[in-house]
Amino acid sequence: MARVAAVTGNEAVAEALRQINPDVCAAYPITPQTELMQRFAAFVSNGKVDTELILVESEHSAMSACIGAAAAGGRVATATCGPGLALMWEMLYVASGMRLPIVMAVVNRSLSAPLNIHGDHSDAMGARDSGWIQLWSENAQEAYDNTIQAFRIAENMNIRLPAMVCMDGFIISHSIGRIEYLEDEPVRSFVGEYQPLNPLLDLDNPKSYGPLILTDQYHEYKRAQHEVMTRVKDVVLAVAAEFEKVSGRRYGLFESYRLDDAEIGLVILNSAAGTAKDVVDSFRERGIRAGLLKPRLFRPFPYEEVAQALKGLKAVAVLDRADSFGGYGPVFMEVCSALYPLAERPVVINKIYGLGGRDFLPQHAEEVLAELEEIARTGKVRVAKEYIGVRE
């Protein structure tokens, strides 16, 4: 059934988009996303998809064109990263506020200055409040699987929200790994025929998108937007259960790795979780009860479920590949918010790692786990937030 291939993360997501065959794609090239859209553009040019590919002059225009196409009634996809996502910022809120189920691959990249093109979560973390669903992916397989599932989640008639699928720039986007593709037909029947909601091209029922809503009604629209986010979790789980039947691969709101009886644990997103899981295994071999939680759905954040998964631990380190300068890392803030309502909770510390693509090495995970062992034993925290893998 499965087609096994050795491909880059970009190639895997482009293949998912080929199989899904969206109506419209508007995109602008930016490293390290370029290869993804270049490959998809080849599918368009070679007649492998029916997609109308719109080449635009910026990411702001790319998202604007996606919004127009989605409001018209089409299934829409795009991709960007780093500064491109930052330039889309205004339009991200328009897409979610208009409840348009656009799916966007985000090949996580750092933000300038200094100029840097490598893997870093600052881009998507900066967009975490924009009302988009966020799915994060450890490797090419997860990026491919998440892309297919994202269409079903975003387009659910009780949701209708845009979704971004994140994977690490270069580390995943440009590294070749083993992947199991689904055949075209199962993917097509999984995503199904696109059902538009209030399409502008339904000319018999004219309508207006984007009205001015002032003090008398804006607050109510935002309340409604919050409400729809509370429904996303259940849809993510339902879509994952259906996807498992097609693919044999299981997804949840996050991955729990050897957490059940753990005393110390790491919380870490995307590719670095792969490295950290190996180190967790080596600690387990030495009889140390270590575990790991890898968030998948970061927006909306599954607070109760994360709290349940971590409540039995003595010490937790949240590793962030993005910083909120003058604050804590974004994942740390969410994990602390999740744990705070519990009467008994683990000690939590924050480590900032891997900015601008700096390698996350097994020794970094080893050092953090060793520090957690010490905290679990003594209850003493040396420092709440710290950069690791940094030259002094």
Residue 224 in contact with other proteins, rule: CB under 8 A: yes
Task: Report the residue from 47, 211, 287, 326 that binds other proteins according to the rule CB under 8 A.
Answer: 211
Site for other proteins in 150-189 (CB under 8 A): 160
Task: Report the residue from 192, 210, 248, 362 that binds other proteins according to the rule CB under 8 A.
Answer: 210
Stretch of residues binding other proteins (CB under 8 A), selected from 108-116, 215-223, 334-342, 361-369 = 215-223
Encode 3-54 in three state secondary structure: EEEEECHHHHHHHHHHHHCCCEEEECCCCCCHHHHHHHHHHHHCCCCCCEEE
Judged by CB, which is closer to other proteins: 203, or 343? 203
Residue 221 in contact with other proteins, rule: CB under 8 A: yes
Look up residue 159 and give its two tokens.
């949701």
Q: Kindly list the distances between the CA atom of residue 172 and the CA atoms of 8, 18, 141, in Å, as whole numbers in the listed order.
A: 7, 19, 10
Q: What is the DSSP string of 375-391?
A: HHHH---S-SEEE-S--
Stretch of residues binding other proteins (CB under 8 A), selected from 171-179, 214-222, 309-317, 324-332 = 214-222
Site for other proteins in 53-112 (CB under 8 A): 97-100
Closest approach of other proteins to the CB of residue 205, in Å = 7
Judged by CB, which is closer to other proteins: 221, or 387? 221
Closest approach of other proteins to the CB of residue 301, in Å = 22
Stretch of residues binding other proteins (CB under 8 A), selected from 1-9, 13-21, 222-230, 324-332 = 222-230
Judged by CB, which is closer to other proteins: 151, or 251? 151
Residue 204 in contact with other proteins, rule: CB under 8 A: no
Coil vs helix vs strand at 145: helix
Task: Report the residue from 213, 238, 241, 384 that binds other proteins according to the rule CB under 8 A.
Answer: 213
271, 171 contact by CB (below 8 A): yes
Stretch of residues binding other proteins (CB under 8 A), selected from 102-110, 120-128, 224-232, 301-309 = 224-232
Task: Report the residue from 47, 114, 223, 286 that binds other proteins according to the rule CB under 8 A.
Answer: 223
Look up residue 187 and give its two tokens.
């993917």
Encode 309-352 in three state secondary structure: HHCCCCEEEEEECCCCCCCCCHHHHHHHHHHCCCCCCCEEEEEE
Judged by CB, which is closer to other proteins: 101, or 354? 101
CA-to-CA distance for 228 and 205, rounded, in angstroms?
25
Judged by CB, which is closer to other proteins: 162, or 329? 162
Point out which residues pair with 257 in neighbouring strands.
Answer: 292
Q: Kindly list the distances between the CA atom of residue 209 and the CA atoms of 35, 94, 99, in Å, as whole numbers in the listed order.
A: 33, 10, 11
Work out the burial of residue 68: count CB atoms within 10 Å of its CB; fewer than 13 is exposed, 13-18 middle, 19 or more buried: middle
Look up residue 184 and give its two tokens.
């075209």
Task: Report the residue from 189, 217, 337, 378 that binds other proteins according to the rule CB under 8 A.
Answer: 217
Closest approach of other proteins to the CB of residue 237, in Å = 22
Judged by CB, which is closer to other proteins: 222, or 250? 222
Which of 163, 140, 169 has its CA nearest to residue 298? 163
Q: Which residue is it, tokens 């753990």?
A: 262
169, 118 contact by CB (below 8 A): yes
Q: Which residue is it, tokens 């690791």?
A: 388
Stretch of residues binding other proteins (CB under 8 A), selected from 37-45, 148-156, 207-215, 347-355 = 207-215
Task: Report the residue from 227, 261, 285, 344 that binds other proteins according to the rule CB under 8 A.
Answer: 227
| Positions in the binding site for other proteins (CB under 8 A) | 97-100, 160, 197-198, 205-211, 213, 216-217, 220-221, 223-224, 227-228
